[in-house]
Structures are given as structure tokens and as C-alpha cells.
Amino acid sequence: MRALGLLGQVEVPAQIAAVPRARHYVRDLLKGLDHPHTDDALLLLTELVTNAIRHSDSGRSSDGRIIIAVAHHNGTLHVDVVDAGSTGQRPSLRAGVSPDSGGGRGLWLVQELSSAWGWYEALTGRVVWFQLNGK
């Protein structure tokens, strides 16, 4: 976790059924913050967790796991989604994606709605993160 002010961390199974659990967990963490972009945070979280399930080795394993960590510092919300990574794929924006595209908009939404986002390889796996400034 690169941001200060860890609010919480949870590990969920890398299964689509865990997406609502992840959203609920983060929604509960953010209740007291009154952050102006809480809805955006939940949407972007959903996109990143879904991508981790669909495109990483976590989602390809029957016991695959995803870790979600949420931090808040000086009005900036920082969310990490950690999966097992994938040797064949790296997070990237699809060419030609727009608001009207039928699919492939996950990282496009992250880019459009977040203040910053990125990814890196870590000892624990691949981390895809985003930030939302509250100021």
C-alpha cells in the first residue's frame, strides 16, 4: 500500500459472486468519510475486481484470491486491488473504447473517473490501483 491512512483491507475469493461483498466492504469503510466520490470509488472497484477475476491467474484458480486495500490521506482516496497477475496479460486500455462501447470499458472508466491510476508487480502479485481526490 503506497498511501498513508489505511482504512481497511479484505481478501475475497476470485469469483464473480464476491464482487458484491467487496463493494459492501468498501461502502462500509467509506460511510464516515463523506468523500464526494464514493459512488465513483464503488464503480471503479467493481471494474478492477471484475478484471482481476476475468484476466488474472487468481480467477483461473479454484482457490484464487483478491485483496482489496483502501486508504485515505489528505482528502485523497486510494484503492489497491491485488491479484495473482498473469504472465500473458498486462492491464492496458483497449483502443477505440468510448462511452458507447459494448465492452472493454473497465480501465477506460478507471482512467476517465479517477484522479490517477496505475499498476505494478509486487511480491504479493499484481496491484492495480486508483485514486480519487476529494478536494
Residue 49 forms part of a structural domain: yes
Q: Which three cell numbers stand for residue 60?
A: 483461473
pLDDT along the chain (135 residues), means of 10: 77 97 96 90 96 93 96 94 88 67 75 96 93 88
Distance CA 57, CA 117 (A): 21
A 10 A CB-CB count for 55 gives 19
Domain tally, the chain: 1
Q: Please tell me the predicted confidence (pLDDT) of residue 2.
A: 46
pLDDT at 130: 97
CATH assignment at residue 90 = 3.30.565.10
- Residue entry with cell 473504447: 97
Residue with cell 491485488: 82
**What pTM does this model have?**
0.90
Q: pLDDT value at position 124? A: 84
Nearest to 83 by CA among 72, 69, 94: 69
Range(s) of the domain holding residue 31: 6-133
Residue 72 lies in a domain: yes
Chain centroid offset of residue 97 CA: 19
CB-based contact 6:69 (threshold 8 Å)? yes
Q: Answer whether residue 1 is part of any domain.
A: no
Distance (Å, whole) CA 66 – CA 86? 13
- Look at residue 104 in the predicted model and tell me its pLDDT: 65
